[in-house]
Structures are given as C-alpha cells and as structure tokens.
C-alpha cells in the first residue's frame, strides 16, 4: 500500500470516488500492461507550463532570505543557479499518475482528456488506489493556489507537484507520486507501475455520445484481457423522463 508524506495532503474522505479519463488506446495499453502509467514531471508541462514550479510569492520569499545584508551578489546568483538545476532535476525524477476526484462524471474532463466519443473513464476510490500501490508511492489531493501571490513552504520536491493554479481547479486532482532518478531510453517520458487492476477498478464508462458498437468493443476488449469489471454507457447519456 502507499505511504503518507508531509508534502502530500490526504483528502478528507478516503472512500471518495475517483476516475481516470483516457482515450481507447491508453485503456488498451493499461489492460495489456497490467498497470498504471506514471509520467515524468517534465511531460506534464506540455499541458501546463508551470508544472513543477513554485509560485512567485514563494520565490520572492526565498530570494529575500538569500539577500540578507552583506550577501555577495555572486552568491545570490550561485544560489539561483543551483535552485534552477534542482528544479530541472525534479522535473525528470518525479513520476506522476493523475486522477479526478468527484461523486459525478465531469463533462470538462471528458472533453479535455479523451478523444470523444471514443474515450473511457475508469472508476475507483482513493482507498482502492492507496491499497493497490507500493510503499514507495505517495498519494494526495492537489492544492489550488494563486501563483502570483501565495506563499507555500517548499521543503520537498513533491511540494511543487502538489500545487497548481486556480484555473485548473475543475480537475479536482488526486496525484500519485514516485521519486526515481534512474532514467533509461524506454522510461524517458514515464513508466508503467504494476497494480492489481481487478482490485483497483470498480467499473468503466464509455464516452457520452458513443455509438452502441463502441460500448461492445470496450466490453469485449476488457474481457479479452481477462477482466470482469462492468462497462457501461456514460450517465450523461441518460434518457429524459419527459
């Protein structure tokens, strides 16, 4: 099971429903590999260029601490260079697996993270994810802040990856993090971590508006890989009562 970490805040309810939205090819890759894909922190900047960075308020405080009376300017520049090097190393060393925490499906998440109408959303709970991952993994809820003014205490690499701008708060994100410095050509963008998918996944929804044959394809594919979790149409496709 996963471990607690001072830099990773747990959600209030460990039984909170979570979902991971993805296109069909990634779903097949997950079933085929028998695990969850953890992306390198640097690749997350393809969506949010501030991933893994610190808010301006925090940086200002850090520089103030470095600019005490009598501190040589050369030393300040050296400290800034070292900090930048550390941030760059963290972008390569931190591995991230992302989920959406909500009691309901999200139209925004379907739109952003799937090739609608041919996507899927796997359903689970925070506790199931916690139980399925190893002790070298840390899971918690992302905190949404003002990057122009807020100040956060930066005492670990994970802190920068557990804070995002308010514009992303619709993601209600749960993140599983691992720290791994060793990089190979095959893990340059990330790697798969083996988990018991049967214990993790409660069920699967297909994209809203998906044709009936697509639901059949997702069901058949799930069965082909030996899994029995239910596959059903999105609740957003509910038929009106009047």
Contacts of residue 207, defined as CB under 8 A and 6 or more positions apart, other chains included, come to 110, 114, 116, 117, 118, 119, 120, 214, 234
Provide the phi-psi class of 134: left if phi over 0, else alpha when psi is between -120 and 50, else beta: beta
Q: Per DSSP, what are the bridge partners of residue 138?
A: 3, 177
- Provide the residue-wise pLDDT of the chain in tens; the chain has 242 residues: 999 999 999 999 999 999 999 999 999 999 999 999 999 999 999 999 999 888 888 877 777 766 666 666 665 665 566 567 667 888 999 999 999 999 999 999 999 999 778 999 999 999 999 999 999 999 999 999 999 989 888 778 899 899 999 999 999 999 999 999 888 999 999 999 999 999 999 999 999 999 999 999 999 999 999 999 999 999 998 767 66
Short-list 158, 152, 142, 170, CA closest to 91: 158
Give which of 157, 174, 166 is closest to 53, Cα–Cα: 157
* Cβ proximity of 151 and 61 under 8 Å: yes
pTM, 2 dp: 0.89
Cβ atoms within 10 Å, residue 165: 15
Peptide bond into 117 cis (omega under 30): yes
SS3 65: helix
pLDDT at position 77 is 66
The token duo for 144 is: 């949404």
pLDDT at 81: 63
C-beta of residue 154 within 8 angstroms of C-beta of residue 58: yes
Whole-angstrom distance, CA of residue 219 vs CA of residue 214: 9
Query: Which token pair is 3?
Result: 């471990």
pLDDT of amino acid 22:
97
Q: How many residues does the chain have?
A: 242
Quote the pLDDT of residue 62. Answer: 72
Domain ranges (residues) in the chain: 17-237
d(CA 109, CA 118): 13
Beta-strand runs (E) in the chain: 17-23, 35-40, 94-101, 119-125, 138-141, 143-145, 163-165, 173-179, 190-194, 203-206, 231-233
């Amino acid at each position: 099971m996963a471990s607690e970490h001072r830099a990773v805040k747990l959600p209030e309810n460990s039984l909170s429903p979570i979902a991971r939205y993805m296109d069909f090819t990634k779903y097949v890759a997950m079933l085929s590999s028998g695990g969850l894909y953890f992306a390198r922190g640097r690749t997350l900047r393809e969506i949010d260029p501030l991933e893994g960075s610190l808010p301006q308020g925090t940086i200002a405080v850090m520089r103030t601490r470095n600019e005490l009376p009598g501190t040589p300017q050369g030393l300040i520049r050296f400290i800034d260079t070292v900090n930048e090097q550390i941030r760059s190393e963290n972008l390569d060393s931190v591995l991230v697996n992302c989920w959406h925490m909500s009691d309901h499906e999200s139209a925004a998440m379907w739109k952003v993270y799937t090739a609608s109408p041919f996507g899927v959303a796997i359903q689970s709970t925070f506790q199931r994810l916690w139980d399925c991952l190893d002790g070298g993994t840390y899971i918690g809820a992302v905190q949404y802040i003002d990057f122009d003014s807020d100040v956060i205490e930066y005492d670990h690499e994970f802190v920068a990856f557990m804070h995002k701008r308010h514009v992303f708060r619709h993601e209600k994100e749960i993140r599983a993090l691992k720290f791994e410095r060793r990089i190979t050509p095959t893990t340059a963008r990330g790697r798969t971590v083996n988990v018991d998918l049967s214990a993790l996944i409660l069920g699967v929804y297909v994209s809203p508006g998906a044709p009936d044959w697509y639901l059949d394809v997702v069901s058949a594919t799930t069965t082909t890989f030996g899994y029995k979790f239910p596959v059903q149409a999105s609740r957003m496709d509910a038929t009106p009562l009047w």
